[in-house]
Structure 1
Protein backbone atom coordinates (compact mmCIF):
# COMPACT_ATOMS: atom_id res chain seq x y z
CA UNK A 1 0.00 0.00 0.00
CA UNK A 2 2.86 2.39 0.88
CA UNK A 3 4.55 1.74 -2.52
CA UNK A 4 1.27 2.38 -4.36
CA UNK A 5 0.77 5.69 -2.54
CA UNK A 6 4.35 6.73 -3.32
CA UNK A 7 3.85 5.83 -7.00
CA UNK A 8 0.63 7.87 -7.23
CA UNK A 9 2.32 10.85 -5.54
CA UNK A 10 5.35 10.64 -7.87
CA UNK A 11 3.09 10.42 -10.94
CA UNK A 12 1.08 13.44 -9.77
CA UNK A 13 4.27 15.45 -9.24
CA UNK A 14 5.65 14.58 -12.68
CA UNK A 15 2.32 15.35 -14.37
CA UNK A 16 2.10 18.71 -12.60
CA UNK A 17 5.50 19.68 -14.00
CA UNK A 18 4.69 18.73 -17.57
CA UNK A 19 3.37 21.21 -20.06
CA UNK A 20 1.32 20.71 -23.22
CA UNK A 21 3.15 20.84 -26.53
CA UNK A 22 2.50 24.11 -28.38
CA UNK A 23 2.11 22.15 -31.64
CA UNK A 24 -1.28 20.86 -30.45
CA UNK A 25 -2.59 24.39 -31.23
CA UNK A 26 -1.25 24.43 -34.81
CA UNK A 27 -4.73 24.38 -36.42
CA UNK A 28 -6.24 27.00 -34.07
CA UNK A 29 -7.38 30.33 -35.50
CA UNK A 30 -6.74 33.19 -35.68
CA UNK A 31 -3.06 32.53 -36.32
CA UNK A 32 -0.69 34.47 -34.09
CA UNK A 33 1.81 36.62 -35.97
CA UNK A 34 3.94 37.93 -33.09
CA UNK A 35 5.31 41.07 -34.83
CA UNK A 36 1.92 41.70 -36.47
CA UNK A 37 0.23 41.72 -33.10
CA UNK A 38 2.79 43.66 -31.06
CA UNK A 39 4.09 46.33 -33.49
CA UNK A 40 2.44 49.56 -32.36
CA UNK A 41 0.87 50.12 -28.94
CA UNK A 42 -0.71 47.37 -26.88
CA UNK A 43 -2.15 47.58 -23.37
CA UNK A 44 -2.28 44.73 -20.87
CA UNK A 45 -3.95 44.32 -17.49
CA UNK A 46 -2.84 41.62 -15.14
CA UNK A 47 -2.31 40.21 -11.68
CA UNK A 48 0.13 38.09 -9.69
CA UNK A 49 -1.38 35.31 -7.61
CA UNK A 50 0.26 33.15 -4.97
CA UNK A 51 0.10 29.39 -5.32
CA UNK A 52 -3.03 29.30 -3.13
CA UNK A 53 -4.80 31.83 -5.38
CA UNK A 54 -4.53 35.04 -3.33
CA UNK A 55 -3.98 38.09 -5.56
CA UNK A 56 -0.75 39.79 -4.46
CA UNK A 57 -0.46 42.58 -7.01
CA UNK A 58 -2.41 44.02 -9.95
CA UNK A 59 -0.90 46.01 -12.79
CA UNK A 60 -1.32 47.75 -16.15
CA UNK A 61 1.31 47.58 -18.89
CA UNK A 62 1.70 49.83 -21.90
CA UNK A 63 3.76 48.07 -24.57
CA UNK A 64 5.34 49.84 -27.52
CA UNK A 65 6.44 47.38 -30.19
CA UNK A 66 8.76 48.07 -33.11
CA UNK A 67 10.61 45.96 -35.62
CA UNK A 68 9.84 43.64 -38.50
CA UNK A 69 9.12 39.96 -39.25
CA UNK A 70 12.44 38.76 -37.79
CA UNK A 71 13.33 41.32 -35.08
CA UNK A 72 10.97 42.73 -32.47
CA UNK A 73 11.52 45.17 -29.61
CA UNK A 74 8.87 45.38 -26.89
CA UNK A 75 9.20 48.35 -24.54
CA UNK A 76 7.00 47.44 -21.54
CA UNK A 77 6.06 50.07 -18.93
CA UNK A 78 4.38 48.63 -15.85
CA UNK A 79 2.28 50.54 -13.32
CA UNK A 80 1.35 48.49 -10.23
CA UNK A 81 -1.63 48.98 -7.92
CA UNK A 82 0.70 50.17 -5.14
CA UNK A 83 1.87 53.05 -7.38
CA UNK A 84 5.28 51.56 -8.21
CA UNK A 85 6.52 51.38 -11.79
CA UNK A 86 8.87 49.17 -13.75
CA UNK A 87 10.24 49.04 -17.28
CA UNK A 88 11.37 45.98 -19.24
CA UNK A 89 12.63 46.10 -22.83
CA UNK A 90 12.50 42.78 -24.67
CA UNK A 91 14.69 42.29 -27.75
CA UNK A 92 13.31 39.34 -29.70
CA UNK A 93 14.69 37.66 -32.79
CA UNK A 94 13.35 34.85 -34.93
CA UNK A 95 15.73 31.90 -35.10
CA UNK A 96 16.30 29.93 -38.31
CA UNK A 97 14.00 27.15 -37.05
CA UNK A 98 11.12 29.64 -36.49
CA UNK A 99 11.41 29.82 -32.69
CA UNK A 100 11.67 33.21 -31.01
CA UNK A 101 14.64 34.05 -28.79
CA UNK A 102 14.44 36.96 -26.36
CA UNK A 103 16.61 38.97 -24.04
CA UNK A 104 15.83 41.61 -21.43
CA UNK A 105 17.99 43.14 -18.69
CA UNK A 106 16.16 41.25 -15.92
CA UNK A 107 16.05 37.90 -17.77
CA UNK A 108 18.78 35.42 -16.92
CA UNK A 109 20.04 33.96 -20.19
CA UNK A 110 17.84 33.68 -23.26
CA UNK A 111 14.07 33.31 -23.30
CA UNK A 112 12.82 30.75 -25.81
CA UNK A 113 9.42 30.75 -27.44
CA UNK A 114 7.55 28.84 -30.09
CA UNK A 115 4.41 29.90 -31.96
CA UNK A 116 1.87 27.44 -33.35
CA UNK A 117 -1.61 28.41 -34.51
CA UNK A 118 -3.01 30.93 -32.04
CA UNK A 119 -0.54 30.11 -29.25
CA UNK A 120 2.90 31.15 -28.04
CA UNK A 121 4.71 29.03 -25.47
CA UNK A 122 7.48 31.03 -23.87
CA UNK A 123 10.00 29.93 -21.18
CA UNK A 124 12.59 32.00 -19.33
CA UNK A 125 14.13 32.84 -15.97
CA UNK A 126 13.21 36.27 -14.63
CA UNK A 127 15.24 37.95 -11.89
CA UNK A 128 12.31 39.05 -9.73
CA UNK A 129 12.82 41.72 -7.05
CA UNK A 130 10.79 41.06 -3.87
CA UNK A 131 11.17 43.02 -0.62
CA UNK A 132 14.79 44.04 -1.21
CA UNK A 133 15.95 40.64 -2.50
CA UNK A 134 16.11 39.27 -6.05
CA UNK A 135 14.97 35.74 -6.90
CA UNK A 136 15.57 33.75 -10.09
CA UNK A 137 12.04 32.61 -10.99
CA UNK A 138 11.37 30.20 -13.84
CA UNK A 139 8.41 31.22 -16.03
CA UNK A 140 6.35 28.84 -18.15
CA UNK A 141 4.35 31.34 -20.17
CA UNK A 142 1.40 30.68 -22.51
CA UNK A 143 -0.24 33.32 -24.73
CA UNK A 144 -3.39 32.69 -26.76
CA UNK A 145 -4.70 35.03 -29.45
CA UNK A 146 -8.48 35.26 -29.02
CA UNK A 147 -9.18 37.62 -31.92
CA UNK A 148 -7.06 40.12 -33.88
CA UNK A 149 -7.28 42.58 -30.96
CA UNK A 150 -7.21 40.42 -27.83
CA UNK A 151 -4.70 38.01 -26.34
CA UNK A 152 -4.78 36.17 -23.00
CA UNK A 153 -1.62 35.19 -21.16
CA UNK A 154 -1.18 32.77 -18.27
CA UNK A 155 2.23 32.12 -16.78
CA UNK A 156 3.28 29.76 -14.04
CA UNK A 157 6.25 30.93 -12.03
CA UNK A 158 8.33 28.69 -9.85
CA UNK A 159 11.62 27.71 -8.35
CA UNK A 160 13.23 24.28 -7.91
CA UNK A 161 10.39 22.74 -9.96
CA UNK A 162 7.68 23.96 -7.58
CA UNK A 163 4.99 26.38 -8.69
CA UNK A 164 4.98 29.43 -6.42
CA UNK A 165 2.41 31.53 -8.24
CA UNK A 166 0.77 32.58 -11.48
CA UNK A 167 0.57 35.68 -13.61
CA UNK A 168 -2.55 36.31 -15.68
CA UNK A 169 -2.80 39.07 -18.31
CA UNK A 170 -5.25 40.28 -20.92
CA UNK A 171 -3.72 42.19 -23.87
CA UNK A 172 -5.63 44.60 -26.10
CA UNK A 173 -4.10 46.16 -29.20
CA UNK A 174 -4.68 49.95 -29.17
CA UNK A 175 -7.12 51.20 -31.79
CA UNK A 176 -8.01 47.67 -32.90
CA UNK A 177 -11.57 46.75 -33.79
CA UNK A 178 -12.30 43.02 -33.83
Structure 2
Protein backbone atom coordinates (compact mmCIF):
# COMPACT_ATOMS: atom_id res chain seq x y z
CA UNK A 1 0.00 0.00 0.00
CA UNK A 2 1.40 3.39 -0.97
CA UNK A 3 0.88 6.41 1.19
CA UNK A 4 -0.83 9.36 -0.43
CA UNK A 5 -0.45 12.88 0.92
CA UNK A 6 -3.74 14.48 1.94
CA UNK A 7 -4.05 18.01 0.54
CA UNK A 8 -6.82 20.55 0.17
CA UNK A 9 -6.80 19.90 -3.57
CA UNK A 10 -7.35 16.19 -2.96
CA UNK A 11 -10.26 16.93 -0.64
CA UNK A 12 -11.85 19.42 -3.05
CA UNK A 13 -11.94 16.81 -5.81
CA UNK A 14 -13.17 13.89 -3.69
CA UNK A 15 -16.82 13.35 -4.60
CA UNK A 16 -17.32 10.94 -1.72
CA UNK A 17 -17.07 13.75 0.84
CA UNK A 18 -20.20 15.65 1.78
CA UNK A 19 -20.17 19.38 2.53
CA UNK A 20 -21.61 20.17 5.95
CA UNK A 21 -23.24 23.57 6.52
CA UNK A 22 -22.41 25.71 9.54
CA UNK A 23 -25.84 24.91 11.00
CA UNK A 24 -25.26 21.16 10.67
CA UNK A 25 -21.74 21.46 12.07
CA UNK A 26 -22.98 23.30 15.14
CA UNK A 27 -25.34 20.44 15.98
CA UNK A 28 -22.36 18.07 16.09
CA UNK A 29 -20.18 20.45 18.09
CA UNK A 30 -22.92 21.40 20.56
CA UNK A 31 -22.47 25.12 19.94
CA UNK A 32 -24.79 27.72 18.55
CA UNK A 33 -24.41 29.32 15.15
CA UNK A 34 -24.55 32.88 16.43
CA UNK A 35 -21.34 34.81 16.91
CA UNK A 36 -22.83 38.22 17.56
CA UNK A 37 -20.18 40.88 18.07
CA UNK A 38 -22.27 42.95 20.53
CA UNK A 39 -22.87 39.91 22.73
CA UNK A 40 -19.14 39.08 22.50
CA UNK A 41 -18.28 42.66 23.57
CA UNK A 42 -20.64 42.60 26.54
CA UNK A 43 -19.25 39.23 27.61
CA UNK A 44 -15.73 40.70 27.38
CA UNK A 45 -16.54 44.01 29.12
CA UNK A 46 -18.76 42.79 31.96
CA UNK A 47 -16.23 40.84 33.99
CA UNK A 48 -18.38 38.16 35.61
CA UNK A 49 -21.72 39.93 35.11
CA UNK A 50 -22.97 37.58 32.43
CA UNK A 51 -21.79 34.96 30.00
CA UNK A 52 -22.15 34.74 26.24
CA UNK A 53 -24.91 32.16 26.65
CA UNK A 54 -26.77 34.39 29.16
CA UNK A 55 -26.88 37.30 26.69
CA UNK A 56 -27.60 35.01 23.75
CA UNK A 57 -30.46 33.20 25.50
CA UNK A 58 -31.97 36.52 26.61
CA UNK A 59 -31.87 37.82 23.02
CA UNK A 60 -33.63 34.66 21.82
CA UNK A 61 -36.19 34.42 24.64
CA UNK A 62 -36.97 38.07 25.37
CA UNK A 63 -36.04 40.14 22.32
CA UNK A 64 -37.32 37.80 19.61
CA UNK A 65 -34.04 37.08 17.83
CA UNK A 66 -33.23 33.75 16.24
CA UNK A 67 -29.88 32.07 15.77
CA UNK A 68 -30.01 33.21 12.15
CA UNK A 69 -30.72 36.89 12.97
CA UNK A 70 -28.46 39.44 11.30
CA UNK A 71 -27.37 40.90 14.63
CA UNK A 72 -28.55 42.88 17.62
CA UNK A 73 -30.42 46.06 16.68
CA UNK A 74 -29.25 49.42 18.07
CA UNK A 75 -32.56 49.84 19.90
CA UNK A 76 -31.93 46.66 21.94
CA UNK A 77 -28.32 47.29 22.98
CA UNK A 78 -29.02 48.97 26.36
CA UNK A 79 -31.64 46.39 27.36
CA UNK A 80 -29.34 43.52 26.45
CA UNK A 81 -26.44 45.07 28.41
CA UNK A 82 -28.62 45.20 31.52
CA UNK A 83 -28.72 41.39 31.51
CA UNK A 84 -25.05 41.48 32.58
CA UNK A 85 -25.67 44.36 35.00
CA UNK A 86 -24.22 46.88 32.56
CA UNK A 87 -25.38 50.44 32.11
CA UNK A 88 -25.02 51.12 28.38
CA UNK A 89 -25.46 54.63 26.98
CA UNK A 90 -24.78 55.85 23.47
CA UNK A 91 -22.21 58.65 23.39
CA UNK A 92 -23.01 61.78 21.40
CA UNK A 93 -20.32 62.10 18.72
CA UNK A 94 -21.51 65.58 17.76
CA UNK A 95 -20.66 66.82 21.28
CA UNK A 96 -17.18 65.31 21.02
CA UNK A 97 -16.14 62.11 22.72
CA UNK A 98 -13.13 62.24 25.00
CA UNK A 99 -11.27 58.95 25.29
CA UNK A 100 -8.47 58.48 27.77
CA UNK A 101 -5.19 56.84 26.82
CA UNK A 102 -6.48 53.64 28.46
CA UNK A 103 -9.61 53.62 26.26
CA UNK A 104 -12.18 54.79 28.80
CA UNK A 105 -14.50 57.75 29.05
CA UNK A 106 -13.27 60.60 31.27
CA UNK A 107 -15.70 59.31 33.95
CA UNK A 108 -14.16 55.82 33.83
CA UNK A 109 -16.59 53.72 31.81
CA UNK A 110 -15.34 51.24 29.24
CA UNK A 111 -16.26 51.99 25.62
CA UNK A 112 -17.87 49.73 23.04
CA UNK A 113 -17.36 51.07 19.51
CA UNK A 114 -19.25 50.05 16.40
CA UNK A 115 -17.09 50.21 13.30
CA UNK A 116 -18.91 51.42 10.22
CA UNK A 117 -20.04 48.52 8.06
CA UNK A 118 -19.45 50.41 4.80
CA UNK A 119 -21.69 49.40 1.92
CA UNK A 120 -23.07 46.36 3.80
CA UNK A 121 -24.64 48.65 6.40
CA UNK A 122 -23.85 46.14 9.14
CA UNK A 123 -21.41 47.46 11.72
CA UNK A 124 -19.04 45.46 13.92
CA UNK A 125 -18.70 46.01 17.69
CA UNK A 126 -15.31 46.08 19.41
CA UNK A 127 -13.98 47.17 22.82
CA UNK A 128 -11.89 50.35 22.87
CA UNK A 129 -8.55 49.83 24.62
CA UNK A 130 -6.75 53.10 23.99
CA UNK A 131 -6.45 56.38 22.13
CA UNK A 132 -3.43 58.19 20.76
CA UNK A 133 -2.30 60.76 18.25
CA UNK A 134 0.23 59.62 15.65
CA UNK A 135 1.62 62.24 13.27
CA UNK A 136 -1.27 64.57 14.03
CA UNK A 137 -3.86 61.84 13.33
CA UNK A 138 -6.10 60.68 16.19
CA UNK A 139 -6.17 56.89 16.48
CA UNK A 140 -8.32 54.50 18.49
CA UNK A 141 -6.96 51.15 19.57
CA UNK A 142 -9.39 48.31 20.17
CA UNK A 143 -9.73 44.65 20.98
CA UNK A 144 -12.14 42.55 18.94
CA UNK A 145 -13.63 39.85 21.23
CA UNK A 146 -15.18 38.10 18.22
CA UNK A 147 -11.87 37.48 16.45
CA UNK A 148 -9.61 37.73 19.50
CA UNK A 149 -7.42 40.29 17.71
CA UNK A 150 -6.38 43.86 18.50
CA UNK A 151 -6.70 46.64 15.95
CA UNK A 152 -6.36 50.36 15.34
CA UNK A 153 -8.34 52.83 13.28
CA UNK A 154 -8.66 56.53 12.62
CA UNK A 155 -10.81 58.19 15.25
CA UNK A 156 -13.44 59.39 12.78
CA UNK A 157 -14.13 55.98 11.23
CA UNK A 158 -16.63 54.63 13.77
CA UNK A 159 -20.40 54.73 13.45
CA UNK A 160 -21.40 54.62 17.15
CA UNK A 161 -19.83 54.52 20.61
CA UNK A 162 -21.36 53.39 23.87
CA UNK A 163 -20.24 54.03 27.44
CA UNK A 164 -20.42 50.69 29.25
CA UNK A 165 -20.22 50.67 33.02
CA UNK A 166 -21.61 48.82 36.01
CA UNK A 167 -25.30 49.32 36.70
CA UNK A 168 -25.77 51.45 39.81
CA UNK A 169 -28.34 50.44 42.43
CA UNK A 170 -31.13 52.94 43.10
TM-score using structure 2 length: 0.24
Q: Mark the structure with the bigger radius of gyration.
A: 2
